[in-house]
Amino acid sequence: MQKDAYTLILEAIDAGLYKPGDRLVESELAERFGVSRTPVREALQRLETQSMLARDGRSLIVASLDHNQLAELYAVRTELEGLAARLAARHATEEEIRVLRAMVEDDKSLLGGDPRALSRANKRFHKQIHLASHNRFLVTQLDLVHRSMALMATTSFAADGRDEKGLAEHEAIVEAIEARDGEAAYQALRGHISQAFETRLRIDAGEVNTR
């Protein structure tokens, strides 16, 4: 299925092709994605309405999150992700649990490598937990939260040592889901997001080295 202009632009922001503060030009986007300017214009208007883009004079730029917005986003994400893990412990099929386990094992090969590759793997892992919750309304809300996460210029996995710790946290989450322990899964995922938030704050404060 061919992707529409909105999805293409959103994915480009998520992939870091366009970072917070970058100007988005209608004609350049149309040429890059091989689409006409009308759907690009409509997509830009939609993204501006969703606060993914902001006005800078007459130009549209990729929005950025200030400290308070970041804290608000992580507060919501922590609770929703924890709920997803709790429901996954209750409703995930054996096949879904095996997929989660395989993801953790496969992602070990990414340790010490490109932080963005590990970030993409992290998103796949979390998305799998969302789906394993078997609650479509929760999945929809988490999709909105993760869309806003694309407005962060760096990944917390860029911090030295965060990749190994993050993967160990993933392993603990899967073990709790596998044990059908909803409370343990909830706490493990909440703790994982809390650590990611703390790491991001330390990156922004210049307290940790990034690669």
From first to last of its 211 residues, what are the pLDDT tens digits of the chain? 568 999 999 999 988 899 999 999 999 999 999 999 999 999 999 999 999 999 999 899 999 999 999 999 999 999 999 999 999 999 999 999 999 999 999 999 998 888 888 888 999 999 999 999 999 999 999 999 999 988 986 788 878 888 999 999 999 999 999 999 999 999 999 999 999 999 999 888 887 666 6
Q: For residue 34, what are the CA distances in angstroms to 8, 44, 45, 53?
A: 11, 16, 19, 21
Chain centroid offset of residue 165 CA = 18
- In angstroms, how far is the first alpha carbon of the chain from the final one? 36
Both tokens of 33, joined, read 């994605």
Domains of the chain: 5-62 (1.10.10.10), 67-204 (1.20.120.530)
